[in-house]
Structure 1
Amino acid sequence: MFSPRKTDPFFVALLTIAELVQEAVHYADDFKVVNVADLKEVSIRLKKYEKEGDALIYELTTKLNKSFMTPIEREDILQLSLKMDDILDGIEHFAAHLEMFSLTDIDEYIQMFMENIVKSTDEIVKAVQLLSRKKLIDMREHSTLIKKYEGICDDIFRVSIKQLFINEKDPIRIIQYKDIYEQLEDIADYCQDVANTLETIIMRNA
């Protein structure tokens, strides 16, 4: 099924999307927020990442529609690209809401969420690199780790919500932080969706 001569352009496109997702998430995690202006800067930059991701998805979809043969099921290529794009959309929405709420206080729970989401995107890139090299079975190690990080985020979510209602007395801040925690939990879920799609690809092609 796979040609050993060169990397298929569809795999190149998927890796480009994976690396964009990784770059965007690392950017969000590395940026040190001090004031509201910083939140605006992060939000604008992540919107650019999101638009770049949309353009890559459009290019890939166009190529799929014009191609007679693909290295794996075209539905799997499209699904993997869209699931990775969900992560980009999620991190952009997260930053937009931080800016909308003027939340410069990045607490320990947000930091823990981001730490595990960053790790997940690193594993996504490693897995898609293996896909590009036709090493399908080796991808499973990385999909398993992504699911592990999603499970950690589930635990963080439960603790963060519990502590929020115990310690925060301002109802507006409760609403704001609950929204942020839920968005981060959604991003972790999107990473798990990528892992599930990778495992489907392994099952069908290994």
Structure 2
Amino acid sequence: MLLDIAQNLKDSADFLGNFELNNVSDLKEFANVLKAYESKGDQYVHTVITELNKAFITPIEREDILQLAMSLDDVLDGIDNFAAMLEIYSIAKFDEYVKEFVKNIQSCAAEILLTINLLSEKKLSQISAHAIKIKEYESQCDILYRRALKQLFSTCKDPIQVIQYKEIYEILEEVADYCQTVANNLETVIMKNA
């Protein structure tokens, strides 16, 4: 079940990075597809909770499974929120900072899927290296966030645009933080079960 959530997250991140936004009219489709991924993720999390309530014995502690599922869902929620804000603000073109954020988020999603695969195969000792990579991508997003804000405040004279882009950058940085939370939860699982 965690693999389903992680695969859905990777598919969502891939769509986020690969969809060609050409104009404002594309934003509705973009937001709707990402909302569908988010809704699918919610269904998976609901299934995890239902199954945890029925299971007598779980392969790892039930709290860890739930924490992992919820943190994966937070990443999906953040991506959905990003798409919704683009539509609300009618921003149909990614600037260089947004593109770089999205690349890092895609890389995090790929690493997350790898780690959940390793978890399902009980290869706990191999997870740590991938969790560290996720944290490195998140760290790159922290640096990127500061650079993006500095550039925004020093060059943009339109206060509305400043507000819009500041919020967009914050949402993307938050998505990266959620990815780091997934990595932290995976390290907790390793610590308890290795």
If the length of structure 2 is used for normalisation, what is the TM-score? Answer: 0.99
Q: How does 1:1-206 map to 2 (within 5 A)?
A: 13-206=1-194
Structure 1 Cα separation of the partners of residues 138 and 181 of structure 2: 10
Which stretches in structure 2 are left out of the alignment for 5+ residues? none
Displacement after TM superposition at 1:197 (Å): 0.2
Cα-Cα RMSD = 0.5
Task: State the percentage of identical aligned residues.
Answer: 51
Match of 1:34, SS?
A: coil
Residue deviations 1:35-65, cap 9 Å, x none? 1111111100111111111111011100000
Structure 2 Cα separation of the partners of residues 184 and 32 of structure 1: 18
Displacement after TM superposition at 1:106 (Å): 0.9
Structure 1 Cα separation of the partners of residues 18 and 98 of structure 2: 13
Structure 2 Cα separation of the partners of residues 39 and 155 of structure 1: 28
State the aligned residue count.
194
Displacement after TM superposition at 1:105 (Å): 2.4
If the length of structure 1 is used for normalisation, what is the TM-score? Answer: 0.93
Displacement over 4 Å in runs of 4+: none
